Amino acid sequence: MLDAYSRMNPPPLYRRQYQHQQQIFEVLIKRSRRKTLAIHVLRTGLVEIRAPLQCAWLQIDDFLEARLDWIVAAIQQLANSPLPEAPAYCDGEYHDYLGQPHQLLLVRGKPSQVVVGAGQLLVQCAAPSDPQQVRQCLLKFWRQRALLVLDERLRDCRAHFDQVPAVAALIQRKVALSGESANAAGKLTIRRMRARWGSCSRGGDICLNAALVQKPTVAIDMVIIHELCHLHHFSHSKAFYGLMDAAMPGWRDHEGLLNQPSWRRQTVLV
Ligand SMILES: [Zn+2]
- pLDDT tens, 149-177? 999 999 999 999 888 888 888 888 888 88
Specify whether the CB–CB gap between 53 and 31 falls below 8 A. Answer: yes
Q: What are the domain boundaries of the chain?
A: 4-81, 146-258
Specify whether the CB–CB gap between 106 and 123 falls below 8 A. Answer: yes
**Ligand 1 centroid, distance to 226 Cα (angstroms):** 6
**Ligand 1 centroid, distance to 49 Cα (angstroms):** 37
pLDDT surpassing 50 at residue 1: no
- For the chain, what is the mean pLDDT? 86
How would DSSP label each residue in 152-192?
Answer: HHHHHHHHHHHH-HHHHHHHHHHHHHH-PPPPPP--EEEE-
Q: What is the pLDDT of residue 118?
A: 81
**Ligand 1 centroid, distance to 157 Cα (angstroms):** 16
pLDDT surpassing 90 at residue 32: no
- The rounded distance, in Å, linking the Cα atoms of 163 and 168 is 8
In tens, the pLDDT along 229-262 reads 999 988 899 999 999 999 999 999 888 888 777 6
**Ligand 1 centroid, distance to 207 Cα (angstroms):** 12
Q: What is the pLDDT of residue 8?
A: 46
Q: Which CATH architecture has domain 146-258?
A: 2-Layer Sandwich (3.30)
**Ligand 1 centroid, distance to 248 Cα (angstroms):** 15
Task: Determine the Cα angle at 15 with ends 44 and 3, to 5°.
Answer: 155
Instruction: Specify the amino acid at residue 260.
Output: Q
More confident residue, 86 or 249: 249
**Ligand 1 centroid, distance to 263 Cα (angstroms):** 27
